[in-house]
Chains A and B, each alone.
Chain A
Amino acid sequence: MLRYKSKELRDHFFIDLLVKDQYKILRHIIFLLFFFVLLYFARFWHWYIEPYRYIIIAFVYISLIAMAYVNIYVLVPFFFFRARYIAYFVLLISMGIVCLNLISYIFDHFFSDYRIKALLKFEDRKGGLYEGVLMCIPIIFMSTTVKLLQKWIKDNEKITELSNLTLNMELKELRNQINPHFLFNMLNNVKALIRTDPEKATTVIIKLSEFLRYQLYENNEEKTFLTAEIDFLSNFINLEKIRRENFTVDIRTETDKKLLNTIFIPPNLFTTFVENAVKHSVEIGGGMSYVNINIEIKNQHLYFVCVNSRNPNYSSANGNYGGLGLANIKRRLELLYQDKFDLKIHSTNEEYIVNLIIPI
């Protein structure tokens, strides 16, 4: 199965720390500690006498952290993520201004008495505000960046998961194509044979059962035995033979049976080509028609050749060779083998020839 999970990214502990729910508490502790350290090395609180300087640092710390959390849990999710960017920045800046003014107001009114007077001449009120702004910027930057990063990584995961899902569905879609028309016509033929040739009817029912079993079950596997696939194609063309007059079919391989038994391939890779061959070999003038299939293994590659007779007089009425079925199988081959397969379809006056080479 093709998986696009961004493994290297996910393995990264740092990313996990940022994103995963299990690290949520740790993440917040680191965040809180980081700001504590940042504040601790700031100068302003040293201007005040003990023990008030600790009350001041606690007060500033709580105010700034409160701003950060308002940003993370209110402003970013309700404004930034909803693309209301202008409102976001306006609110963010207003919050910063209001908060900083409030802090300096409280400083001036409640703590000015506890300032160490000797230091007053070095710093004025503006300096304190300046430091406050400098403090705010990393808080907001960091909190917003972390939020954005989290969202980006989670979105990315969702997108890869979704494309995985569509890819799988597409692959399933491309191979699940039981033709109801074929099925009911075969049942009708069996009904006719029961009357005229019960022995043959029995054989047809067995072949039809094998055909259906393969289509219903093997088809959903990712890989199947090459021999099973060959049996399936053989059943299919032999059932088609019952539906037609003057029609011969042949499926053969020169490759050693033991080798065939060791090879797995995705199921139903060749069905479309064989269906087309059967359809386009129709001869309404009463002449002979045929479908010949050859499958060989050489040099780690599988060579599939399907040849069918055609009557050039009627080919135009048949429309384009392949159509939707052929487009589907081409897409499937691309999904499975990228550019490592080789598909050539050509026609002469009497024949259509399909050559497919796939790596194994």
Chain B
Amino acid sequence: MNCIIIDDEPLARAEMRSLIKEVSEIKISGDFSNALTALDFLKTNDIDLIFLDIEMPLVTGLEFAEQLPKQSLIIFTTAYSQYALKSYELDAIDYLLKPIEKHRLEKAIRKAELYDQLLSQSTIKNTIESNTNDFLFIKSDRRFYKLNLDEIKFIEGLKDYVVIHTKTQKLITAMNLKTTHLKLPAEKFLRVSKSYVVNINFIDSFDNHNIYVDESEIPLGEVFRAEFFRVYSGGSLNSNL
């Protein structure tokens, strides 16, 4: 896996380089002080992962991510947290606050590697074919794989794919999150943000901003929050925790 760093501050780029080298083996193919030169570079190079600063002159990281044509994964890095929710809407892998903590970066890179691996599996043509109340069938290479709904912890949307996290494995299918969600029983599976659908039986705990499922921390989107509190708690809790 390879990556690039985009940050307008020279020292921040140097720090990012050192940190990445410390926690992973991924190849750093370049660093850029602004989004425009990075876009030029991306025209001729295939890059798997981009560490992207948000607050930059001329073109911000968010604007850059919106016009990014290729299927590169993005990890946002920023000094200020007002952008967190917005970045999830852009299907970013993660969102890191500067100064960046080492194992926070490590966690983000592990996640990026996993997704990179899932996305590179031959060509993804898996689709959810049909479902009953208890199962759903994923079609992959002319074979149907049975998936028990009670095994599904949560489903994560990533651009045009969804990753189904079950107790034992992670499956990627070439469908968007909305279509996938429609195929699932609504009383069990709740949309909690732009990128996540959660099986309510697996929710360990939650607060105003996150839902916790085993090791995973799932952001609770602002527009979905009221609905989540209403359905999940049956109205017995309100969102003013």
A residues sitting closer than 8 Å to B (CB atoms) are 180-181, 183-185, 187-189, 191-193, 195-196, 242-245, 279, 282, 284, 314, 317-318
Given A185-B79, A243-B9, also A195-B33 (CB < 8 A)? no
Chain A residues positioned under 8 Å from B173 (CB to CB): none
- B46 at interface, CB cutoff 8 A: no
Is the pair B11, A188 in contact by a Cβ cutoff of 8 Å? Answer: yes
Chain A residues positioned under 8 Å from B37 (CB to CB): 284
Report the separation of the CA atoms of residues A189 and B55 in the bound assembly, to the nearest whole angstrom: 15
Chain B nearest CB, measured from A175 CB (Å):
21
Report the separation of the CA atoms of residues A290 and B10 in the bound assembly, to the nearest whole angstrom: 17
- B235 at interface, CB cutoff 8 A: no
Chain A nearest CB, measured from B92 CB (Å):
19
- B150 at interface, CB cutoff 8 A: no
Report the separation of the CA atoms of residues A244 and B9 in the bound assembly, to the nearest whole angstrom: 6
Chain B nearest CB, measured from A279 CB (Å):
7
Is the pair B15, A188 in contact by a Cβ cutoff of 8 Å? Answer: yes
Chain A residues positioned under 8 Å from B99 (CB to CB): 184, 187-188, 191
- B14 at interface, CB cutoff 8 A: yes
Is the pair A279, B12 in contact by a Cβ cutoff of 8 Å? Answer: no
In the complex formed, the residue of A with least CB distance to B10 is: A245
A selection of 5 A-B contacts at a CB cut-off of 8 Å is A185-B12, A188-B99, A192-B18, A196-B14, A284-B34
Is the pair B12, A188 in contact by a Cβ cutoff of 8 Å? Answer: yes
Is the pair A284, B58 in contact by a Cβ cutoff of 8 Å? Answer: yes
Chain A residues positioned under 8 Å from B9 (CB to CB): 185, 188-189, 243-244
Chain B residues positioned under 8 Å from A279 (CB to CB): 57
Is the pair A318, B57 in contact by a Cβ cutoff of 8 Å? Answer: yes
Given A243-B9, A244-B9, also A185-B14 (CB < 8 A)? no
Is the pair A191, B15 in contact by a Cβ cutoff of 8 Å? Answer: yes
Chain A nearest CB, measured from B10 CB (Å):
5
Chain B residues positioned under 8 Å from A314 (CB to CB): 57-58
Report the separation of the CA atoms of residues A318 and B10 in the bound assembly, to the nearest whole angstrom: 21
Is the pair B15, A284 in contact by a Cβ cutoff of 8 Å? Answer: no
Is the pair A184, B55 in contact by a Cβ cutoff of 8 Å? Answer: no
B residues sitting closer than 8 Å to A (CB atoms) are 8-12, 14-15, 18, 33-34, 36-37, 55, 57-59, 79-80, 97-100
Is the pair A243, B79 in contact by a Cβ cutoff of 8 Å? Answer: no
Is the pair A180, B14 in contact by a Cβ cutoff of 8 Å? Answer: no
Chain A nearest CB, measured from B214 CB (Å):
31
Report the separation of the CA atoms of residues A246 and B55 in the bound assembly, to the nearest whole angstrom: 19
* 9 more CB-based (< 8 A) A-B contacts, given A185-B79, A282-B8: A185-B12, A187-B79, A188-B9, A192-B14, A195-B14, A282-B57, A284-B36, A314-B58, A317-B59
Chain A nearest CB, measured from B171 CB (Å):
37
Is the pair A195, B12 in contact by a Cβ cutoff of 8 Å? Answer: no
The one of A180, A184, A189 that contacts B11, using a Cβ cutoff of 8 Å? A189
Chain A nearest CB, measured from B22 CB (Å):
10
Chain B nearest CB, measured from A237 CB (Å):
15
Is the pair B79, A284 in contact by a Cβ cutoff of 8 Å? Answer: no
Given A188-B15, A195-B15, A196-B14, also A181-B79 (CB < 8 A)? yes
Chain A residues positioned under 8 Å from B57 (CB to CB): 279, 282, 284, 314, 318
Report the separation of the CA atoms of residues A185 and B77 in the bound assembly, to the nearest whole angstrom: 11
Given A181-B55, A284-B34, also A189-B80 (CB < 8 A)? no
Of A185, A187, A191, most B-chain CB atoms within 10 Å:
A185
5 smallest CB-CB distances across A and B, nearest first, come from A184-B79, A192-B15, A188-B98, A192-B11, A282-B57
Chain B residues positioned under 8 Å from A245 (CB to CB): 10, 33
The one of B11, B55, B79, B97 that contacts A193, using a Cβ cutoff of 8 Å? B11
Chain B residues positioned under 8 Å from A184 (CB to CB): 79-80, 97-99
Chain A nearest CB, measured from B174 CB (Å):
37
Is the pair A318, B58 in contact by a Cβ cutoff of 8 Å? Answer: yes
Chain A nearest CB, measured from B59 CB (Å):
8
Report the separation of the CA atoms of residues A185 and B79 in the bound assembly, to the nearest whole angstrom: 6
Chain A residues positioned under 8 Å from B79 (CB to CB): 180-181, 183-185, 187-188
In the complex formed, the residue of B with least CB distance to A183 is: B79
Report the separation of the CA atoms of residues A189 and B15 in the bound assembly, to the nearest whole angstrom: 8
The one of B14, B15, B58, B97 that contacts A282, using a Cβ cutoff of 8 Å? B58
Chain A residues positioned under 8 Å from B98 (CB to CB): 184-185, 187-188
Is the pair B14, A284 in contact by a Cβ cutoff of 8 Å? Answer: no
Report the separation of the CA atoms of residues A242 and B8 in the bound assembly, to the nearest whole angstrom: 12
Report the separation of the CA atoms of residues A249 and B198 in the bound assembly, to the nearest whole angstrom: 53
Chain B nearest CB, measured from A313 CB (Å):
10
Report the separation of the CA atoms of residues A185 and B11 in the bound assembly, to the nearest whole angstrom: 10
Is the pair A192, B58 in contact by a Cβ cutoff of 8 Å? Answer: no
Chain A residues positioned under 8 Å from B33 (CB to CB): 245, 284
Of A183, A184, A188, A244, most B-chain CB atoms within 10 Å:
A188
Of B12, B14, B36, B57, most A-chain CB atoms within 10 Å:
B57
